[in-house]
């Protein structure tokens, strides 16, 4: 996991004691073994609400839904790879490789977009409604935002402004004045429903991504690198509105490569189910 990615515990100093500032912080403290000795470093740095929402949602999904991950850290790293939140580097041999960025490297607009894409991706993977995930995490976000606002007022911040809330962020209709995209495409062309052409494209994509998982000439890290590159190539061919579905296929294949899912046939059957095709058409058995 990227260093410094997970948000710090937020505590309130009360009569010489540290008290959890939110239910989210209380749950995290409860996850430690009773009597455990931990090293703490106190500071008054401002925490980022959007990062806390990211992990609040992931924690909820890993705990309550069927996913290929056992920990929120594994989930976060895999999701960042799936969504293209990566840095580029080179191996000793001169080949390019990608590794997940730290969320601290994203500015607020980028983090907002990443959060929205992550929610849509997890909703597609788990079948949980997007609005439900938003609501579950919003309680944490609003509570923290309110505290940030109160703290800013108490500290007499020169700006006098509180952090943006979900309601304050501009929507596409506010930005553009209508439902058309900047390129003039019609709303129907932005539908998340798959056409026959989309489905055929996804079947070919799934077949090739799952084929990478059984390439005998590559070890695990090499397979993962090839998988990430292949996913990025398919991203250019598939409509942006359907990228969460592409990310779902990537994560299914990635979980096989990393060993988090040992049932390759089951993963293929699941993808074939929402593609409405036979498993054999994307590299599985009938």
pLDDT band at 168 (very low <50, low <70, confident <90, very high): very low
Greatest mean pLDDT among 44-58, 140-154, 222-236: 222-236
Q: Give the H or E element holding residue 83.
A: helix 72-83
> What does the mean pLDDT of the chain come to?
76
In this structure, the answer to whether residues 147 and 57 fall within a common structural domain is yes
Select the more confidently predicted residue: 41 or 81: 81
Residue 3: the pLDDT is: 46
In this structure, the answer to whether residues 72 and 145 fall within a common structural domain is yes
Burial (0-12, 13-18, 19+ Cβ within 10 Å), 24 = buried
CB atoms within 10 A of CB 205: 23
In this structure, the answer to whether residues 63 and 143 fall within a common structural domain is yes
Residue 9 included in any domain: no
Q: Alpha-carbon dihedral of residues 10, 66, 73, 247, nearest 10 degrees?
A: -120
Residue 17 included in any domain: no
Give the mean model confidence (pLDDT) for residues 132-138. 64
The domain in which residue 248 lies consists of 194-282
Number of domains in the chain: 2
In this structure, the answer to whether residues 70 and 149 fall within a common structural domain is yes
Q: Specify which residues 17 forms β-bridges with.
A: 14
Please give the Cα distance from 62 to 57 (Å, whole number): 9
Residue 172 included in any domain: no
pLDDT tens digits, residue range 17-72? Answer: 888 888 878 888 888 888 888 887 766 555 678 888 888 889 888 888 888 888 98
Inform me whether the pLDDT recorded for 8 exceeds 50: yes
Residue 159 in contact with residue 86, Cβ under 8 Å? no
Which of 153, 169, 185 is where one domain is finished?
153
Which of 99, 132, 153 is where one domain is finished?
153
Residue 210: the pLDDT is: 95
55 Cβ contact list (under 8 Å, min separation 6): 6, 7, 72, 76
Residue 153: the pLDDT is: 41
pTM (global) more than 0.75: no
Inform me whether the pLDDT recorded for 244 exceeds 60: yes
151 Cβ contact list (under 8 Å, min separation 6): none
Given its phi and psi angles, is residue 156 left (phi above 0), alpha (psi -120 to 50 degrees) or beta? left
Residue 134 included in any domain: yes
In this structure, the answer to whether residues 134 and 206 fall within a common structural domain is no
Between 49-63, 66-80, 94-108, the lowest mean confidence (pLDDT) is in 94-108
In this structure, the answer to whether residues 148 and 64 fall within a common structural domain is yes
Residue 133: the pLDDT is: 64
Residue 175 included in any domain: no
Inform me whether the pLDDT recorded for 199 exceeds 90: yes
Q: Which long-range contacts (CB under 8 A, 24 or more apart) does 195-203 make?
A: 198/238, 198/239, 198/242, 199/275, 199/276, 199/277, 201/237, 201/238, 202/238, 202/242, 202/245, 202/246, 202/249, 202/275, 203/275, 203/277, 203/281, 203/282
Residue 176: the pLDDT is: 42
Residue 75 in contact with residue 58, Cβ under 8 Å? yes
Residue 184: the pLDDT is: 42
4 Cβ contact list (under 8 Å, min separation 6): 102, 104
Inform me whether the pLDDT recorded for 144 exceeds 60: no
Residue 121 included in any domain: yes
In this structure, the answer to whether residues 146 and 235 fall within a common structural domain is no
Inform me whether the pLDDT recorded for 234 exceeds 90: yes
Give the mean model confidence (pLDDT) for residues 213-222. 87
Q: Specify which residues 99 forms β-bridges with.
A: 87
Residue 85 included in any domain: yes
Please give the Cα distance from 177 to 274 (Å, whole number): 34
Q: Percent of the chain scored above 90 by pLDDT?
A: 23
Residue 67 included in any domain: yes
pLDDT tens digits, residue range 174-196? Answer: 344 343 433 344 434 467 788 99
């Amino acid at each position: 996991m990227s260093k410094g990615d997970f948000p710090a515990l937020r505590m309130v100093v009360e009569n010489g004691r540290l008290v959890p500032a939110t239910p989210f912080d209380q749950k995290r403290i409860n996850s430690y073994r009773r009597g455990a000795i931990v090293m703490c470093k106190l500071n008054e740095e401002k925490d980022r609400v959007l990062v806390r929402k990211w992990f609040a949602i992931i924690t909820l999904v890993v705990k309550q839904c069927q996913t290929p991950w056992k920990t929120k850290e594994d989930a976060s790293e895999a999701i960042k790879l799936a969504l293209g939140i990566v840095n580029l580097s080179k191996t000793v041999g001169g080949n390019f490789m990608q590794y997940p960025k730290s969320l601290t490297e994203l500015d607020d607009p980028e983090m907002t977009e990443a959060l929205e894409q992550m929610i849509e991706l997890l909703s597609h993977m788990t079948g949980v409604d997007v609005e439900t995930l938003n609501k579950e995490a919003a309680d944490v976000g609003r509570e923290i935002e309110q505290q940030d606002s109160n703290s800013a007022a108490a500290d007499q911040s020169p700006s006098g402004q509180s952090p943006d809330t979900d309601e304050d962020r501009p929507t596409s209709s506010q930005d553009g004045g209508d439902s058309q995209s900047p390129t003039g495409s019609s709303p129907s062309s932005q539908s998340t429903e798959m056409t026959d052409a989309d489905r055929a494209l996804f079947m070919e994509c799934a077949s090739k991504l799952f084929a990478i998982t059984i390439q005998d000439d590559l070890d695990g890290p090499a397979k993962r690198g090839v998988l990430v590159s292949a996913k990025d190539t398919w991203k250019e061919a598939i409509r942006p509105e359907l990228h969460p579905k592409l990310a779902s296929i990537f994560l299914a294949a990635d979980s096989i490569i990393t060993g988090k899912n040992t049932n390759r046939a089951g993963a293929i059957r699941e993808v074939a189910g929402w593609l409405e095709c036979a498993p054999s058409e994307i590299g599985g058995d009938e």
